[in-house]
Amino acid sequence: MSASNRRNFLSTTLTGGAAVGAGIASMGLHTGKAHAMNTITEAELGRVIILSFDRGELLLEGVRDKLKELDVKNAVLVSGIGTFSKARFHRITNEKSEILTIEGPMELSSVSGIVANGEPHFHMTFADLEKTYAGHLEDGSVVWYLAELVLIELNGVNLVRKPLLDQQ
């Protein structure tokens, strides 16, 4: 599936009293075509989950394991800081994306995202001694000294990422 003709979108279904409004028009960034947008207007907040990672631990894989252990299906990542000895991420380059691996001491200054159906989708900003990077966190990112993430569980909705064909 190439990034030039597909993208993922977030779909929601209700499991309780959450209200969802659908069909709000938004303009496509590159196509000029209108796309329907689902808006979650209410969801019940669940547990606050604080994850602390030590030297040598894999960040994304560790998050995924803990989400499975705690049976967390849907959440929002509200805070994240830390350090990397190796960072793997992908970023967009024109019509496609590329996966990069950066090695050496790095500071994770920001990470945000959601968990949809148990799968984390996190974007991060981090820097080594010379450059700042931003992109989508990938498997294989290794904690240098520590990393701390705070998630808030979302109850009352089921978030699911589905492929969506671009209409270009």
Domain 1-168 has CATH 3.40.50.720: no
Q: What is the pLDDT of residue 93?
A: 86
Task: Quote helix, strand, coil % in the chain, to nearest 5.
Answer: 5, 70, 25
Tell me the mean pLDDT in the region 3-20.
47
Q: State pTM to two decimals.
A: 0.76
- Tens digit of pLDDT for each residue in 31-80? 445 556 667 666 789 999 999 999 999 999 999 999 999 999 999 999 99
pLDDT at 23 over 70: no
What was the pLDDT predicted at 96? 85
Instruction: Output the pLDDT for position 5.
Output: 36
Q: How far apart are CA 36 and CA 25, in angstroms?
A: 5
